[in-house]
Structure 1
């Protein structure tokens, strides 16, 4: 069930009324949230809900053993981490590695036939795996005690963030679940603004961009000119930002209405002046998770300049692999790893911010283009598809362009984007000054107009696939 469907909207309104009927009883609210979260997961597949519950039970057992073990005894933590990785690998990467391993066996003439098994990827497995890792590590570091089982189950299954994030840290989110004080709606004007923005971003703008430029151009890149192909790349870069940040806006708004705060996940990433800054603004909860649980444990920047670059590349390769089981995602991660390495090397010899200090606009323009071209591998289904796009991009100079005006419009939006970024704050301030009686009318009118303009059908959340 899509969170942008009318059916879900109606169900959420009923749930919202029932949830706040028990506003003085947080434990009852938690039970409602837990049941609702599992029902949503089960709406995709009953097996997915069962897998989530079994995984929750096993990780909870390990957390108890970790808490009871000596401070220097890491065996239970290692077992828990290995199980988390193995569970994610089995469901998400089995087919990919089976195919690659079988190809290697065939190349070496080794007479081994690996079994062909169809494994469905449980919804949200990538995110609740990261949540569980943050929990067991926090227990090991004594940052929090072992939670009660049902509180931990809600932490892993919390429906606003179980499907496509943001990535919640146990030490920040579990206290919101275990609170004994009555909850209250948090920042209602901001919550409604975020929900409206999400519908505009995903339903309207993202849908229009995808239908008119991204989908047709990526489907047949060899038939389009270089200008059109640039429109396709820029269009997808804008679409994935609108889609993912729109989803984050939606679930953040829902969480605020339920009395919870989710971590900030986006901070205008296309204003970044270099790749390092881009990752401090894009999917912030994931990039911080990778920093704290992969990059720093590998040694971070504490073991010399060369080792730092190796750690950066390893972290970005794992980031790419986390997004999907395919060579394209690994190449995408490698592109970002290589870009950050080159940034570090250039700053070592020319000084930190040597381009940004001279021309912030140029630095932002170069960073945006590097990110856009990296998205090519992210969006294409296979490496041959990406190579076809690159071939067309370097050869189709004689084909008459169709989207020249669109290309100029994209450049215009890019340069006025620093002004547009203030729109959410303006809108929040505006509706906070309007009489509460008129807010439902404004809310419904904006939603109706957005749905009317948007392409038909309920759009998918891109990151729900990961």
Structure 2
């Protein structure tokens, strides 16, 4: 017998079960969305309204009444950008831009950092101000940066403001990238809205590959390794040997990459199936041979945003080498703080900022001396660079993941002073499946780009029914191996 109350309970917001790409409810939601989208895909207005309404519902299922925030943000910046564009006096334009920045950053600050600064104030003054314990709206860090880049680009004269409010609300609320990015620029996205919806075999193959690989990375690799090994290590590092802690750090490096890039890949794949191309957010970052290269490959949308709207406005490399190094450090400190209200994140960002400055010194010295390595020396240095960069990034991940500085230093202490390599056989026997998946994850990560292209072309050549059958079979396999409760994505908290 049909249970209407059960259906209704599934459709309303549940704080204990937010909608995720890897949740069972999402597959029903996405099927309903695709059906409606295809029915109205022949007109721009139909596509915009269907996508926007489903996106707002998606956001409601993720964080309840905070869906109104994204509507408010769209209203404010849609109008401010138009007023900036029309204003003739530079002083008026700048005032409107400052107002936009204050509104956007103010909302982000209020929800994300109020309790952090209340804590600092209490520590400095021995005060007793009560924290507000505000619930952080999902995706606010991502759509705030999109809002800021839009109004700044309009102010700079790099783009024209959109004429229709629904177009801007559609851009801001676009559900594939709403909660965890990528941070999409209006200049990349909005021109695609007016293009007719045409889906070719390349789009189907590319979208299928991105969705399937994203689900595999998120559910099979990241969730399994985290829930069956990594979380035990970071919950209490002092209870584990140094060898376990080191492997836990390697595991977390893979977990955070597969978790975040997997979710980003799914966002890109869903967007591709609906006629939109979003720039990639990751490019095999652990293949980087320097920290500078790493930040060109990791969370590309954030690093490029920080470069264009923080680093360059601070002066970039235009005001001397010392100022360049200071600008790099400040930019990464801000990037660390963007991740969360915690000294751990600030320290993590500071480490990366310092490393980027040191790398710039290295590159400048090599250029000045005219040193250029070729042949086998170049290959050896590249391999060494990859190993050094990976281990530095892993060292920084310790502070990113650990709940406190005490936990981070406890883990490092175990690695340095209590390594105990002799337990490796016992450890392997206890975590055979985990270490097998870790090996598989790193092997897949270091495959050449040609393997990805081959998979995409194979899927593109398959008929529609073949793609559907493949996806259904793949989802069935995922259901058999996934954990009972979907694991909340790591970047969901940002």
So what's the TM-score if we normalise by structure 1? 0.93
Structure 1 window deviating more from structure 2 (397-406 vs 214-223): it is 397-406
Residue number in structure 2 paired with 1:139 = 154
Q: What CA distance in whole angstroms lies between the structure 2 residues aligned with 1:300 and 1:71?
A: 28
Residue number in structure 1 paired with 2:356 = 340
Q: Show CA shifts across 1:174-193 (max 9, x none).
A: 1122x1x4212361111011
Name stretches of at least 5 consecutive residues in structure 1 with no aligned partner.
Answer: 107-111
| Residues 227 and 404, structure 1, Cα contact 8 Å, conserved in 2 | no
Q: Show CA shifts across 1:75-98 (max 9, x none).
A: 111121122111110111001111
Pairing partner for 2:132 from 112, 117, 120: 117
Pairing partner for 2:30 from 2, 9, 12: 12
Structure 1 window deviating more from structure 2 (305-314 vs 338-347): it is 338-347
| Residues 280 and 300, structure 2, Cα contact 8 Å, conserved in 1 | yes
> What is the number of residues matched between the two proteins?
459
Q: CA deviation at 1:358?
A: 4.8
Q: Residues 227, 398 of structure 1: CA spacing in aligned structure 2 closer, same or farther, 3 A cutoff?
A: closer
| Residues 213 and 231, structure 1, Cα contact 8 Å, conserved in 2 | no
Residue number in structure 1 paired with 2:55 = 37
| Residues 222 and 396, structure 1, Cα contact 8 Å, conserved in 2 | no
Q: What CA distance in whole angstroms lies between the structure 1 residues aligned with 2:255 and 2:342?
A: 21
Name stretches of at least 5 consecutive residues in structure 2 with no aligned partner.
Answer: 1-18
Q: Output aligned runs, 1:160-171, within 5 Å.
A: 160-171=176-187
Give runs of ≥4 in structure 1 deviating > 6 Å: 352-355, 405-409
Pairing partner for 1:378 from 400, 416, 420: 400
- Describe the SS at the equivalent of 2:400: helix
Q: What CA distance in whole angstroms lies between the structure 2 residues aligned with 1:377 and 1:71?
A: 47
Pairing partner for 1:75 from 95, 99, 109: 95
Residue number in structure 2 paired with 1:98 = 118
Mapped pair 1:127 → 2:155: no
Pairing partner for 2:80 from 48, 52, 62: 62
Residue number in structure 2 paired with 1:223 = 239
Q: Output aligned runs, 1:343-358, within 5 Å.
A: 343-351=359-367, 358=380
| Residues 228 and 404, structure 1, Cα contact 8 Å, conserved in 2 | no
Q: Show CA shifts across 1:164-204 (max 9, x none).
A: 00011011111122x1x421236111101111111111111
Q: Residues 301, 10 of structure 1: CA spacing in aligned structure 2 closer, same or farther, 3 A cutoff?
A: same
| Residues 206 and 243, structure 1, Cα contact 8 Å, conserved in 2 | yes
Q: Output aligned runs, 1:282-301, within 5 Å.
A: 282-301=298-317
Residue number in structure 2 paired with 1:403 = 427
- Describe the SS at the equivalent of 2:447: helix
Q: What CA distance in whole angstroms lies between the structure 1 residues aligned with 2:448 and 2:478?
A: 19
Mapped pair 1:278 → 2:306: no
Q: What CA distance in whole angstroms lies between the structure 1 residues aligned with 2:231 and 2:130?
A: 35
Residue number in structure 2 paired with 1:109 = none
Q: Show CA shifts across 1:288-347 (max 9, x none).
A: 000000000000000000000000000000000001110010011011111111112223
- Describe the SS at the equivalent of 2:88: coil
Q: Residues 19, 414 of structure 1: CA spacing in aligned structure 2 closer, same or farther, 3 A cutoff?
A: closer
| Residues 221 and 441, structure 2, Cα contact 8 Å, conserved in 1 | no
Pairing partner for 2:456 from 413, 425, 428: 428
Q: Residues 76, 416 of structure 1: CA spacing in aligned structure 2 closer, same or farther, 3 A cutoff?
A: closer
Residue number in structure 2 paired with 1:388 = 410
| Residues 268 and 278, structure 2, Cα contact 8 Å, conserved in 1 | yes
Structure 1 window deviating more from structure 2 (92-101 vs 56-65): it is 56-65
Q: Residues 303, 29 of structure 1: CA spacing in aligned structure 2 closer, same or farther, 3 A cutoff?
A: same
Q: Show CA shifts across 1:374-420 (max 9, x none).
A: 11111112222212212222221348344358798657975785336
Structure 1 window deviating more from structure 2 (386-395 vs 161-170): it is 386-395
Residue number in structure 1 paired with 2:13 = none
Q: CA deviation at 1:424?
A: 2.6
Q: Residues 98, 190 of structure 1: CA spacing in aligned structure 2 closer, same or farther, 3 A cutoff?
A: same
